[in-house]
Structure 1
Amino acid sequence: MEKITLDMEYLKKILLQLLEIPSPTGYTDRIVHFCGEELERLGIPFELTRRGAIRADIKGRTSSPDRALVTHLDTIGAMVRELKPNGRLGIASIGTWSSRFAEGARVTIFTDTESLRGTILPLKASGHVYGDEIDTQPVNWDNIEVRIDEPSLSIDDLLELGIHVGDWVAVDPLCEIRPSGYINSRHLDNKAGVAILFTAAKAILESSIKPPLDCHLLFTIAEEVGTGASVTLHGDVAEMVSIDTAPLHGGHNLCERGVSVAMMDSSGPFDYHLTHRLLELCRRHDILHRRDVFRYYRSDSASAVEAGNDLRTALVCFGVDGTHGYERTHFESLRATTELIAAYMLSEPVVWRDRFNLGPLKGFPVQPE
């Protein structure tokens, strides 16, 4: 199989553009428009669901079975749950993340008519006022609040500003790229995954190599709340690979500069044959990789299966330290993951028999004894 050329400057450019677009779950319209415009620029046809999930199509030599590659546009964030008498905002998390990582974050509050700026602070934010109590207050969402950068000392002031319960709060990414190749930013989960999928698709199109199978590029909008790839699939999709973060931790099989192929997450094992095809591609193309198991993790693959889709699923990940906080990855990990996705798009189907929803025993694969 010919090795295609990846445009890593394109990946960097589009990643920075994606990070500048706030997209907490439920407030994703702007990033949907951005991705749609980029797909149009690349000449990739696509359709949207009612709420904005995207399914784009790269035609292959064969239409069935076909495969899907999925990543998510939504990020963690917060929502206003209380207008407080002191003129500040109580907030609830969107997605699962610790209030410890929210403290000190600069944010945008989206009201019905405009956006306002502010900072998330602990209730006891100043040692000059509270002394050692700043170090003993509990870490939870009831012990933080948003200070708004407008004159606001009461609930009436907040109402005058147009703020209501249910307004979305987006956290600034604060992206920094170092000469060493490290990228520090919030929301690499999963803006980096989106950039990987765009870069792999661009490389396939520019190579003029036609994939063996139709490939569907799926961009979901509610992965952080558990319903990601429950839509946008259709019956001919036999294989689906999710692109997401590999949380780096001493208890995990670390791969900060390569790609992690997940064998299992909290929803259960991934498909044996599809996962081993990905491992084979890594070996064949000399892609630095590790196998991994994630105990407290789920991805778009889980929501696709739970929605009743009968398909093989797998998960490939770029390494991220401090997931759902101030995250860090490395360009070499993004490159390795992109190489694997591109190689997979150009590979033969894992099981040709999968073009049938129901079929005979003949052609069904066998795991080693």
Structure 2
Amino acid sequence: MPRLAVDTHYLTEQLKALLAIPSPTGYTDTVVRYVAGELERLGLKVELTRRGAISALRQGSRRASARAIVSHVDTLGAQVKRLKENGRLELVPVGNWSARFAEGARAQIFSDKGIYRGTILPLKASGHTFNDEIDTQPVGWSHVELRVDALSRDLTELEKLGVHVGDMIAIDPQPEFLENGYIVSRHLDNKAGVAVMLAAIETMEREGAATPVDIHWLFTIAEEVGVGASSILTPDIASMIAIDNGTSAPGQNSAEFGVTVAMADQTGPFDYHLTKKLINLCESEEIKYQRDVFRYYRSDSASAIEAGHDVRTALITFGVDASHGYERIHVHALRSLAELVTAYVTSPVEIERDRNLHAGLKGFTRQPNDEATQELAENSDPAE
């Protein structure tokens, strides 16, 4: 079955709804409830791990050699490191992001007594007081503080608010959806990937699309701190495709249009055959794409492999400008990703041997090589 027509209105409306739900790593219950509810509304059977990672099964013609699509619902954020004598909060980041992008951010503090609003400010925030020092002070998490929008002029008043060390802080996304298709917001990594998955599922349910094998739609809750898909895969899953952001920046080949197929990240190359299949689908279905290699980047795929899962993995991305900052994407990339996902999950299984956890050489895959090496290879059937 070729790629299906994706409802971009549904996709962007889901992205808006997801961005409106704070979900820094460690504080994801609300967004998990939302995504699980939408999956059930679409007709999928949903299961949660103890901590809240989501697995939604869409049955195919068989269970063996099942496929998985994964993205993460958690985002960057912060925690209270210390209650300061001036009534403000010292912070530590949740996930890897620069304090440069934290300066000026509006935020929510989740305390025992309720939710407070606040602003992350540099220690020297007033030009009227510090003159040129506001531009020469260092950048770093030890050089910012959170001003709470409540009576907190000193440590005693701050303690009365019920704020404690370790309280979670969510950063406002401040999204803008422009008429020309650009979307600017924090936390597009990876709320946009979640929206892509929901749009692909909605399309398949609307079209009544059949798949040759079971499809596991996975949503993880701690990718930003490296945990990702480490414990959500089942043995019947033979291949897994992660959807995340690509870095459209100088020195990179990612783009804000079409699909960016990751060939490798900092953990090494992605599976040769699965990645090649995705590229072939882009070409046959006339989906715009480009390839890229990411040097300072890892995804749900890395955590699954490092946890010991013997599964083929690949990564497809939407190009993001200023990743982990004020991010920008284009709806063209999101639609292209959802189209590729529908084409992939409905495509025939090509490596039948993958239905087995262990098997002999017969049916094992081949990669292009020189003739001398080919002659030395055992006489076995090529992968279908």
TM-score by length of 1: 0.99
| 1:207 maps to 2:211 | no
SS of the aligned residue for 1:62 comes to coil
Q: Which position in structure 1 is the counterpart of 2:25?
A: 25
The separation in 2 between residues aligned to 1:361 and 1:56, in whole angstroms, is 33
Deviation (angstroms), 1:42: 0.6
The equivalent residue for 2:101 is: 101
Deviations along 1:92-150, one digit per CA (max 9) or x if unpaired, are: 00000000000000000000231000000000011110011111111000000000111
Q: Shift of residue 38 of structure 1?
A: 0.5
Shift of 1:36: 1.0
Q: Contact (CA 8 Å) 1:277, 1:350: kept in 2 or not?
A: no
- Distance of 2:350 and 2:27 partners within structure 1: 37
Q: How does 1:143-162 map to 2 (within 5 A)?
A: 143-162=143-162
1:277 corresponds to: 277
**Aligned residue in 1 for 2:232:** 232
1:169-192 deviation per Cα after TM superposition (whole angstroms, max 9, x unaligned) = 000010001111100000000000
2:3, 2:340 within 8 Å by CA — same for their partners in 1?
no
Counterpart-to-counterpart distance in 2, 1:99 and 1:175: 20
Aligned partner of 1:135: which letter?
D
CA distance in 2, matches of 1:312, 1:349: 13
Within 5 A, what are the aligned runs for 1:167-182?
Answer: 167-182=167-182
Shift of 1:2: 3.4
1:11 pairs with 2:11: yes
Q: Does 1:326 align with 2:326?
A: yes
For the residues of structure 2 that align with 1:86 and 1:3, how far apart are their CA atoms?
58
- Specify the SS of the correspondent of 2:132: helix
SS in 2 for 1:189: helix
Q: Which residue of 2 aligns with 1:267?
A: 267
Deviation at 1:40, TM superposition (A): 1.2
Q: Which residue of structure 2 aligns with residue 349 of structure 1?
A: 349
Flag structure 1 segments of 5+ consecutive residues without an equivalent.
none
- Deviation, 1:50, is 0.3
Q: Secondary structure at the match of 2:65?
A: strand
Aligned to 2:198: 198
Could you tell me which residue of structure 2 aligns to residue 129 of structure 1?
Answer: 129
CA distance in 2, matches of 1:287, 1:155: 57
Partner Cα separation in structure 2 for residue 299 and residue 131 of structure 1: 43
Partner amino acid, structure 1, of 2:81: R
Corresponding residue of 1:216:
216
Contact 1:66 1:236 (8 Å CA) reproduced: yes
- The CA distance in 2 between the partners of 1:37 and 1:158, in whole Å, is 37
Larger Rg: 2
Quote the Cα distance in structure 2 between the aligned partners of 1:256 and 1:324.
Answer: 15
Corresponding position of 2:50: 50
Query: What do the CA deviations read for 1:32-69 (whole angstroms, capped 9, x no partner)?
Result: 00011101111110100000000000111121110100
Secondary structure in 2 aligned to 1:314? strand
**Contact 2:253-2:292 within 8 A present in 1 as well:** yes
Work out the CA distance in 1 between the residues paired with 2:118 and 2:2. Answer: 51
The DSSP-based 3-state class of the residue aligned with 1:230 is: coil
Does the 8 Å contact 2:281/2:344 carry over to 1? yes
CA spacing shift, 1:348–1:123, aligned 2, 3 Å: same
Residue in 1 that maps onto 2:118: 118
1:6-56 CA deviation, whole Å, 9 max, x = no partner?
A: 111100111000000000000000000001110111111010000000000
Q: Measure, in 2, the Cα distance between the counterparts of 1:182 and 1:364.
A: 44
> Aligned to 1:213, what secondary structure does the other structure show?
coil
Shift of 1:154: 1.0
Gaps of 5+ in 2: 370-384
Per-residue deviation, 1:270: 0.1
Please say if residues 274 and 350 of structure 1, whose CA atoms lie closer than 8 Å, have aligned partners that are also in contact.
Answer: no
1:59–1:214 contact (8 Å) kept in structure 2: yes
The answer on whether the counterparts of 1:273 and 1:350 sit within 8 Å (CA) in structure 2 is: no
2:364 is matched with 364
4+ aligned runs moved over 3 Å, structure 1 = none
